[in-house]
């Protein structure tokens, strides 16, 4: 079993709210729906595309992209997310987790940024070149 560092008082206080089933369920629903919507929007904006152009790139209709970017829409499915990830050459993780992991997640615009496989490879190549130059 993975050993975790002790929780800060701030995290303990925030986590204690989750003892209420109503709070916990409401938070989870809002967090998941909103997180998906904001990330779809961030991916589209990173590409510099309108909803219509993003829809074409991902093989979806513009109305689908509009719904996916709506924080109240909860009808997204894993297959749709997989299709978008494959069209954009990015990874996708869907997993269950502890609430403390939910609270520690970075939901800032920078935290929503995702690199394509090609951008990742380019960064790794630059690091390798810099490391090689430093070793000389």
pTM equals 0.80
Residue 1: inside a domain: no
The tally of domains found in the chain comes to 1
The DSSP letter of residue 51 is H
Per-residue pLDDT tens over the stretch 35-89: 999 999 999 999 999 999 999 999 999 999 999 999 998 889 999 999 999 999 9
CATH value at residue 43: 1.10.260.40
CA distances 23 to 89, 104, 108, Å, are: 36, 18, 22
**Considering only CA atoms, which of 126, 110, 130 is closest in space to residue 118?**
126
Per-residue pLDDT tens over the stretch 90-123: 999 999 999 888 888 888 878 888 999 999 999 9
Residue 47's domain comprises 9-135
Residue 56: inside a domain: yes
């Amino acid at each position: 079993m993975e050993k975790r560092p002790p929780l800060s008082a701030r995290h303990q206080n925030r986590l204690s709210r989750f003892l209420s089933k109503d709070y916990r369920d409401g938070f989870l629903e809002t967090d998941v729906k909103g997180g998906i919507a904001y990330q779809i929007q961030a991916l589209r904006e990173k590409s510099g595309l309108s909803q219509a152009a993003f829809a074409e790139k991902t093989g979806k209709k513009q109305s689908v992209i509009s719904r996916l970017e709506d924080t109240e829409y909860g009808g997204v499915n894993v297959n749709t997310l997989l299709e978008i990830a494959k069209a954009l050459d990015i990874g996708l993780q869907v997993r269950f987790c502890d609430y403390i992991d939910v609270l520690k997640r970075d939901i800032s615009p920078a935290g929503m940024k995702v690199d394509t496989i090609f951008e990742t490879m380019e960064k790794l190549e630059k690091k390798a070149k810099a490391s090689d130059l430093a070793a000389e």
